[in-house]
Every structure is written in C-alpha cells, then in structure tokens.
Chains A and B, each alone.
Chain A
Amino acid sequence: MRNRLSGIFWGLLFLAVPVLGVATFAVAPAFDHWLPKDVSTHGTQIDSLFYFILALTGIVFVVTEVLLFWFIWKYDAAKNDRPATYIHGSHTLEVVWTIIPAATLLFLAIYQMNAWADVKMRRPDMPPTVEVVARQFEWRLRYPGRDGELGTPDDLHLTNDLHLPIDEDVLIQLKSMDVLHSFFLPNVRIKQDAVPGMKIPVWFKAREAGEFDIVCAELCGWGHYKMKGRVTFEPRAAFDAWLERKYAEQEATQPAPEAGESLAAN
C-alpha cells in the first residue's frame, strides 16, 4: 500500500502538464503554427492584447499547476507519517486571492475597451467602399459605380474577389441574403457575422499589399467549408486601375444592369 513510486509517478504526470503546455506554445511559432501575418493597422492592438493575456494566464497556469504538482509530490501519504493539517481555511488568504484576481480582471476589462471601440464602435464617417452580401455559399460584392454611389444602376457586381486599397480607411457594408455567415479576414483580424435583415458596417485600414483569404466563420449549411473568397490589398492607384478594368468588363458583357440587385439594395 505504501508505494512511494506511485506518488512520484503521478506527481511527474501532473508536472508534465505545465512543462509540455508551455513547450507547445513555445515551439508552435517556429513551425509557423501561430497567429497569421497581420496587415491591418488595428491588428497590433489585438495581437498585443493576446500576448498580454497569454503572459498573464501563462504565469497563473504555471504557478497553479506547479503548486498542484508540488502538493501531490510533498503530501503523498506514503512518503510521510505526519498527520494531515487540520485547517478549515484562512480568511486572509481568501481575501488575498479574491482581491488580486478581481483587480487584475477589472484592469483587463477596462484596458481592452479602447481596442474594441476602435474596431467595432468608432466607425469612420464615410460612404461604404464596397457592399459585401453573403449567401450560400459565396461572397457577392458590389462596388459603387462611376457615380460613386451604392444602389445605382451602374454598380459593379463581382463574386468572391474583393479588392481594397491600402493605407486608407475602408468601410464595408455587410449583409446576408439567406442565413447567417461570418466575414472573417484572418490577416486583418476582422470578424463580423452577416445577419439577414441587418446592414452591419465593418471598417479597417490595411497597411500592406498582398492577397489573402476570406473565410466564412459561421455555419451556413453543407457548403460552409467552401465559402471562400480572396481579398487583394493594393495601393490606391492599382486599386483604381483594377476598378476601371472591372467597370469596362461589366459594361462590355451586360450593358443594362439586371434585376436582383433591387433586393441587395434594400
């Protein structure tokens, strides 16, 4: 019954939790299993908050798991004959370990509000750059036509191929035709559900050119996995040129704008 080895064995098993846990997070970035590249201006705020919480929770994780290991190791009944301490608690300790986490959590709550407000509340005062309408299982895009206004007959209609200028605010008007979807740009740290019946504004500023994924992040049916789009960020001039090319293409193929957009317009 008094098997010292068993205590040592189980102790080490529990010690493996913080050791391997930290190791996993430490090696993951080396294998590129980590936050994808961020090309937005607000993304650093999100990423540094992520790292801050990672550090904070990492410390709590290591300390509590090591304590757990240490107690398992030290207070193994097979190892010592000392009776268990007869104690029902400690008022001081309870106060300490209530106040400290409470203060930390409250700090965290207040500290992050600004980043949230930047991404979701401080909407730039400008007309939409593009309207994104989600439907099973594609992203329908509508750019204002040459008149610069959405909802007019010369609007440009595209699918899944989003282009946006860099170094300036863009405002996307997000809608859904059928069920819920979620407009997720991993490289821009943007996610917003598209809700039928609602027009939800999404804004950000990209600071680097490149081509990235648009992912649907809300279950929208059997084809959810393939609801993929691409976003291309390019300098203003290149973006304008691209727009111009697309206008021309659309005018060549379908001179008169067809119906169906009346729905997208409401």
Chain B
Amino acid sequence: MTPPAATAVDHGHVTVSAPAHAPKGGLGHFLSTYVFSKDHKVIGLQFLFSTLVWFLIGGLLALAVRWQVAWPWSDVPVLGKLFAQEGGQMAPEFYTMLFTMHASVMIFLVIIPILAGAFGNYLIPLMIGADDMAFPTLNMLSYWFMWPAFFFFGASFFVEGGAASGGWTSYPPLSTNTASSPASGWGQTLWLLGLTMVGVSSMLGSVNYMTTIILMRAPGMTMFRLPMTIWGMFITAILQAFALPVLTAAGFMQLADRTLGTGFFSPEGLIVNNAVPGAGGGQPLLWQHLFWFYSHPAVYIMILPAMGMVSDILTTFARKPLFGYRPMVYSVAGIAGLGFIVWGHHMFMSGMNPALGITFMVSTMMIALPSAVKTFNWLGTIWGGRIQFTTSMLFALAFVSMFIIGGLSGIFMAATPVDIFIHDTYFIVAHFHYVLFAGTAMGVWAAIYFWFPKMFGRTMNEFWGKVHFFLTFIFMNGTFFTMHILGAVGFPRRLADAYHYETFHHLQPLNAFMTWCAIGMVASQIIFAANFFWSMFYGPVAGRNPWNANTLEWTAPSPPGHGNFDFQPVVHRGPYEYSVPGCEKDHLMQTDPPNAAAAAAALAAH
C-alpha cells in the first residue's frame, strides 16, 4: 500500500521555492511558528486539536446526560464528585444545563469549527494549489476568536446558577428572562457572548475561504475541476456568509433583552415565577424565525464539507471516478439554495400559522431530493470499483450507510401531521444524531485517517484504526437507532425523568441499554486517541502520496512546508481520473502532464 513517494518531482517540474524554514530558535520564533502562525496548515491543526479537546468534553457531558436519562436521580459515578450536589445526585436544573451545553459545545465548538476551521483551513490551499489563504492574518484571527468563545463557554460552568440551560436553541422567554430559571443569569449571557465569538470566527473564515477558492486556484484548476471537498467548503462558506449575520443580530437582540431591558422577544403581560419582567411588546416566535433562519442552513454547514470529503475518500479507495460529478455539485448547490427556505420546519408546532407550515413542508420535502441524488451517486461510485478497506474508507462507507438513515427519518418529520406526534421526541434526537454523529463525525474520522499522513508525515495504525471503527460503529447504532423506537412511543426529549408518566414508564430498560452503548462508544475513543498520538511520532513514514490519490495536496511534501508546494502545480484534469484504461498506473494525478497520459495510452495500445 505504501509505494515510493512518486509525485510531481518525477515529472520534472521546476522547483519554485523550497520550504526554507531554517530553525532560528528563540521564543519569538516559537510563538510565530506554532502559536500566532499565519500558515493555514498550522491554523488548521490548531483548530483540529482545540476541537478534539472540546469533542472529549462534549462527549463526557453526553454521558452525564445519558446517565440521568437511564437512571434518574441515582448517584452519578466519577462525575458525581465533581458537582457533588445532593450527595452525587443530579439536580434537574443541572441536567438541563448538561444537555444544553452538550449540544452547544458539539455544534458550536466541535462540528462547525472542525469542518470549516480544521479541514477547511488545512485543505483548501493545498487542494487548489495555492501557497496559503488569501488573507493569512484574518485566518489567524479566525482561530484566535475561538478562544474568547472557549473561555465564555468554559467559564459559564463556574458562574452562579451554572452554564446556560435554555437548550441549544435558546428559546425566549426562558432564555431572556432572568427570573425563569436559576441558570438564566450569567450563564446565559456568557453563552450568547460565546456564540457571537464563534460567529465572528466563522465569518472571518468564510470570507477567506470564498476569496481563496475564487482567486487563488492553480493554473488549470477550473471550478469544475475542483474536488468535492472544496465544493463542500465553498458552498459552506457562502451559507455562513449569508446566514450568520442574522444569528449574530438575533444574538445581540437577545442580549439586549437580557441586559438593556428591551423586549424584542417578550410579549406584554408576562408573569414569570411571580415576577413581572420589564418591557414587553415583542414576540417569542421572532427569535425562532431568526434562529432557524441561521440554524437550518447551519445544519448543512455541519455536513456539506463532510459530504465533500467522503466523496473524495470513496473515489480514492474505490479506485473509480466519482459517479456524476456535476449532479453532485448541483445537488450541493441545490441543498444550499433550498436550505434558506425550509427553516420553518422546526416550527410546525410553534404557533406559526399552519398555512405557512404547509409551504415549509413542501420545501422540506424537496430538500430531501438532492440528498437522495447524492446518496445514489455515492453508491454509483463504489459500484464496479476495486474497493480497498482502509480505515478511512470504512468510515466513509459508514457515512453513506448512516446518512441514509438520517435522511429518511427527516421525511417523517417533514410530514407535518406525523411531526405533530414526533416533534420534540427522541425521534428528532435520533434524526440529528444520525446526520451529525453517525454522519458528520464518521466523515471527520474518515478525513482524519485519510489526511493524517499529509498533516504529520506518518500514517495511523490501520489495525487499531479498524478496531476503533468497528467498536464505534456498533455502539453508535446501539445508542442511536433505538432512539427511533423511543420516538415512536412519543418519549419526549429534554426530560430529566420521564418515567413518572404512564405512557413512558416502561422505557427505562431500553434507555439503560442505550446508555451502556454510549459508554462503550466514548470508551472506544481511547483507542483513537492513543493511535492518533502514537502515530504522530512512531507511525510508518508516509511519503507524499500514500493512498495513490489524485488531488493536489498529494503532490506536496508530507507535511508540506511553508508555502506548501516545492514546485508550481499546473492542473491538467479533474480530480477523479482513477483506473483510466490504457494507463499503466491506476490513477492520473491532476498535475500529471497530458503528454505522459497520452504516451501511456499509446504505449498500451501497441
């Protein structure tokens, strides 16, 4: 599997600039290289490490949530000591905080920044043949704006009343009204500030990605020669640029409601907890519209890059061109366009005019279409291939398999009458874990195993990678598939204890099973972490192109030096020329000169 580092240099490219980066020593140098670096690769890795740390925190929060759902009011092991209230038992407001922060951390500090921040940063210049981003300083800032967010979210656990506990959706008046819950004091304010910072970071990243992709492609890299990863990142950047301002504005309005006494989201005449809050005249539904106007496109921000990366990985290990490149690009664009007119499907039961609900229902049904087209094309891609079962490929295949489930469950909820019953039940929880965890997180793992050699010059251990995959896959389905069944019973989400309801009291054993699976799933990540750090230092040296892939990043050294390429890449073809008949290699890199390909074909024809 590890051929000699055959690449560009073999074809006699001119060396433009060597990664001259002579060690200079000194603290200043250390800081500018590894801390306040403007190199997109360093920034990408900074994002990667930070988000993986938050991934761990979010995972532990999830376990605490699962503990309470499975065994309400029982002593929490290990963690119980951390927040020893009532002798290791969880208070209901603590539980409320846990699921709020679990979701907030996973969405805002893990998935969004790991896709766009880590992989977007690392891959965009490399895959389009640029030496860096268009605005390196903005890029550095986009990472450093995450730190106030880390700080606000992190610190909020320690303020009086605890961290935010109004759900990740932060619906007012619960979130705006300080009398409405113990945690809607500082915790909620810090949450809003953190959200704003994540928004600033994403926005800086987004303008950078758009500019870079439009202006800095290598000669010959037309838009329709871009790998799907870049298309995913590009459309994501557009979504962020158009949707984020709305969330940021809404966040400020909520902040004003909380601190300045405005009443954007509070109607006249509220009586909360026997207190009459300040100005009214607002509308709770306004927040929901603004929030979902961002957060529905955001669910695509949380999956389009993963879809792109998975497409590239599938072709590489199926040794086949991507099936239907253009339809794939059009579906991504279609998802992005439609993504702006479906937000109301989160509000079918909200009190929004039911006639308006019908229009959102129709657009939501239609957005399942591009997802279906993409799935069929992925199947078409592996059909007739020569599949290599690397860990990365397994995770990519798992993405496809799991995305099918998440996409299909979306149709149940898009059907408004059915949504009456399953809205705010575990059916929804199943749905978004299938798209976000079983989907995006699988894609992220596929991408980590795939690009690890480029990032660190060494490959990860395949055997332990597969063990990690196998356990994660099994436990994940044990945890999340069963949620559909809970949803079918109507089991509501966000309840600290639902077993006192006659309808739900028999569901505890199933929940306990799911919690055991969740514990297994989190525990399996120890294997991943060990493999990751061990391989960084002791893994087999990778060479430039360990997977015999076609895209530009594989022509650069592993890891690439400052400026990325040691020659000027010139692109001659699309990214998916695998198994070209008559060519002695089973892949033609984007930089392979056309005459070489023609010569090979001519040779074979003899």
Q: Interface of A with B (CB < 8 Å)?
A: 1, 6-7, 10, 13-14, 17, 20-21, 24-25, 28, 32-36, 45-46, 49-50, 53-54, 56-57, 60-61, 64-65, 67-68, 71-72, 75-77, 80, 82-90, 93-94, 97-98, 101-102, 105-106, 108-109, 112-113, 115-117, 119-121, 135-136, 177-180, 182, 184, 186-187, 189-193, 195-198, 200, 212-213, 215-226, 228, 263, 266
Contacts and interface: CB of A to CB of B under 8 A. Distances in A.
Interface string B66-105: 0000000000000000000000000111001000000000
Given A87-B323, A224-B96, A7 B389 contact: yes
Interface stretch (B16-24, B141-149, B489-497): B489-497
A56 to B, nearest CB: 8
A88 B272 CA distance: 61
Contacts of A88: 321-325, 576
B420 A68 contact: no
9 contacts: A46-B418, A49-B417, A68-B404, A87-B323, A94-B377, A98-B327, A119-B417, A217-B492, A219-B494
A225 B327 contact: no
Pick the 3 closest A-B CB pairs, nearest first.
A197-B267, A85-B384, A222-B93
A40 to B, nearest CB: 11
B418 A98 contact: no
Greatest chain B CB density within 10 A among A34, A68, A106, A196 is at A196
Given A61-B404, A98-B373, A112 B417 contact: yes
A119 B415 CA distance: 13
B382 A17 contact: no
Contact of B488 (A35, A53, A215): A35
B173 A180 contact: yes
Contacts, number: 330
Interface residues of B, number: 115
A189 B421 contact: yes
A219 B394 CA distance: 38
A263 B269 contact: yes
B272 A192 contact: no
Interface string B470-486: 10010001000110111
Nearest to A194: B351
B382 to A, nearest CB: 5
A108 B412 CA distance: 10
Interface string B325-355: 1110000000000000000000001110011
A266 B423 contact: no
Contacts of B380: 89-90, 93
Contact of A136 (B272, B354, B366): B272
Contact of A21 (B405, B576, B579): B405
A57 to B, nearest CB: 4
A60 B371 CA distance: 13
A64 B404 contact: yes
A101 to B, nearest CB: 5
A23 B271 CA distance: 49
Contacts of B349: 182, 191-193
B375 interface: yes
B403 to A, nearest CB: 10
B492 A109 contact: no
Contact of A266 (B269, B385, B470): B269
B351 A200 contact: yes
Contacts of A68: 379, 382, 397, 400-401, 404
Contact of B379 (A71, A217, A219): A71
A212 to B, nearest CB: 7
Contact of A219 (B171, B357, B397): B171
Given A6-B389, A112-B415, A86 B579 contact: yes
B489 A36 contact: yes
Interface in B357-399: 357-358, 361-362, 365-366, 368-369, 372-373, 375-377, 379-380, 382-389, 394, 397
A116 B416 contact: yes
B507 interface: yes
Contacts of B136: none
Contact of A217 (B280, B365, B424, B581): B424
B216 to A, nearest CB: 27
B351 A217 contact: no
